[in-house]
Amino acid sequence: MPDVAAAPADTRPYSPGLEGVIAGESSLSQIDGEAGALRYRGYPIGELVEAGSYAAVAELLWTGDWNPGAKLPCQPVPDAVMTALRALPRSARPMDALRTAVSVWGSVTDPSWPATPDQARALTAFSPSALAAFARLRQGLEPVAPDPDLDLVAGYLYQVNGRAPDTETARALDAYFVVGAEHGFNASTFTCRVITSTRSDLASAVVGAIGAMKGPLHGGAPSEVVEQIHEVGSPEKAEQWVRDTLAKGDRLMGFGHRVYRAYDPRAAALRKVAEGMEHRPEWLELAIAVEDVALRVLQEKYPDRPLRTNVEYYAAPVLMGVGLTPDLFPATFALARHAGWTAHAIEQGANNRLIRPDVRYVGPAERPLPR
C-alpha cells in the first residue's frame, strides 16, 4: 500500500508554556516587569497597601470602584462543608481541604453563571473560615465561629488561633493579602478563566484555580524560603551560606521572577510593612539581613542577570511572623488570590468566548493499521 502524504507542516509560531502569548485582555491589573511595577485598575500596589485594605482592594477588583472604608467580614461555614472537613484525615494538606470546602460550598449554594460581585463576596468571605476550621480540626480543636466585627484578614487569624490578633499583626497579613490578590494571567488565574469560559460556575472555576496553585511551581515557594532562612541560622552566617549555596549550583528561593526584571513591587511593599513593625520577630530581622547579603552576592556573581527579590521572599517572613505554620502558606496565598480569581471570572463572563487554543501535532503521518 502506498504511503499517505503527510499533511502540510504547521508553521504558525509556538511558544512553550504560552510565554509571551497574548491570550486575552483585562482591565484588572497591569504588570510592568522591566520597571518593577504592578497596578490594580491603574492604582500602584504600594499605594494600595499603604492606604487601603484587602476588603477595599477586593471591591476595587470586583466593581472598579475605590472605597477605602469597605468591609468584608468572614462568613460561617455551612453544615455540609463542616461535615466534609471533619471527614478529612488530619494528615490532609490544607490546599486539599480548601479545594474540598469550595467544592462543597458550590454544591450548597449552586451559584449561577455568569459570576457576580455578590457571589465573589460570598465565596471570598467563606473560604477563610473553612481553612481556619480545618486548621483547628487537625489539631483536635473545635472550629471557632467568625466574629462579624472583624474584617476578613483579622477574622481569619481569629478563627485559626482562637483570639483576635493585635492591630500590627493584622496589618502585616492584610498587606500580604493585598499584594497577593491579583497578578494577571498566572497559571491559576488562567485556569479559572478557562473554566469560566465554558459557562461553568464560580465554585468550579475557583476549585480549578486552587488545584493549579497547589503545584509547587506556583504556590509553594514561601514554604521553601522558610526552610532556607532556618538553614542560615543567624545574620553573621548569611554571606557564607549564600556563597556556598550558589557554589553548589542550588537556587536561592525568593529571588528572580519570570516576569519582573527589577525588584518585585509586591516584595517592596511587604518589606516596607515589615520594617515598620514596632515589634519585629527575630525571624523577620534575619530575613531582612539575609536578603541584603543575597542581593549583593547575586549582583557580584551574576551582574548580567536580573536576580532581584520576588514576593515569595517577603511572603515567608510575614506569614511566619503572624504565627501561621509553613504548611498553611500556600492555602493562605489562595485565600488572598480569591479576590483576583473571582474578579477574572466576572470579567470573563461579561464578554465570554470559549478559550480553546490550537495544538501542533508532532506525531507520525497518517499510516495504515497493521494487519
> What confidence score (pLDDT) does residue 177 get?
97
Same topology between domain 73-219+329-350 and domain 221-321: no
* DSSP bridge pairs for 309: 255
Helix, strand or coil, per DSSP, at residue 37? strand
> What confidence score (pLDDT) does residue 1 get?
46
State the chain's mean pLDDT as an integer: 89
Per-residue pLDDT tens digits for 34-61: 777 899 999 999 999 999 999 999 999 9
Distance CA 315, CA 311 (A): 6
> What confidence score (pLDDT) does residue 108 get?
97
DSSP 255: B
Instruction: Average the pLDDT over each of 80-84, 97-101, 286-290 and give the range with the smallest value.
Output: 286-290
Distance CA 193, CA 17 (A): 16
Catalytic positions are 257, 312
Residue in 182, 307, 367, 87 with CA at minimum distance from that of residue 193: 182
The pair phi, psi for residue 360, each rounded to 5°, is -90, 125
Per-residue pLDDT tens digits for 113-136: 999 999 999 999 999 999 999 999
Distance CA 180, CA 188 (A): 12
> What confidence score (pLDDT) does residue 78 get?
98
pLDDT band at 75 (very low <50, low <70, confident <90, very high): very high
> What confidence score (pLDDT) does residue 335 get?
98
Q: Tell me the range of 49-53, 62-66, 183-187, 236-240 where mean pLDDT is highest.
A: 62-66
What number of other Cβ atoms are within 10 A of residue 288's Cβ?
15
CATH architecture of 221-321: Orthogonal Bundle (1.10)
Q: Provide the grid cell at 158.
A: 481569629
Per-residue pLDDT tens digits for 194-216: 999 999 999 999 999 999 999 87
pLDDT band at 261 (very low <50, low <70, confident <90, very high): low
> What confidence score (pLDDT) does residue 106 get?
98
Q: Look at the domain 73-219+329-350 and name its fold.
A: Citrate Synthase; domain 1 (1.10.580)
Q: How far is CA 119 from CA 12, 115, 116, 241, 351, in A?
A: 40, 6, 5, 48, 18
Share of the chain above pLDDT 70, in %: 94
The residue with greater pLDDT, 94 or 229, is 94
Q: What is the dihedral of CA 38, 41, 46, 48, to 10 degrees?
A: -150
Distance CA 35, CA 355 (A): 30
> What confidence score (pLDDT) does residue 242 get?
87
Per-residue pLDDT tens digits for 7-35: 567 788 888 888 888 899 999 999 887 77
Helix, strand or coil, per DSSP, at residue 277? coil
pLDDT band at 2 (very low <50, low <70, confident <90, very high): very low
pTM of the model: 0.90
pLDDT band at 221 (very low <50, low <70, confident <90, very high): low
Residue pair 130/85 in contact (Cβ under 8 Å)? The answer is yes
State the Rg of the chain over Cα: 22
The residue with greater pLDDT, 193 or 251, is 193
Q: DSSP readout, 133-165? A: HHHHHTTT-------TTS-HHHHHHHHHHSSPP
DSSP 78: P
Q: Taking residues 242-271, what's their average pLDDT?
A: 79
Domains in the chain: boundaries: 73-219+329-350, 221-321
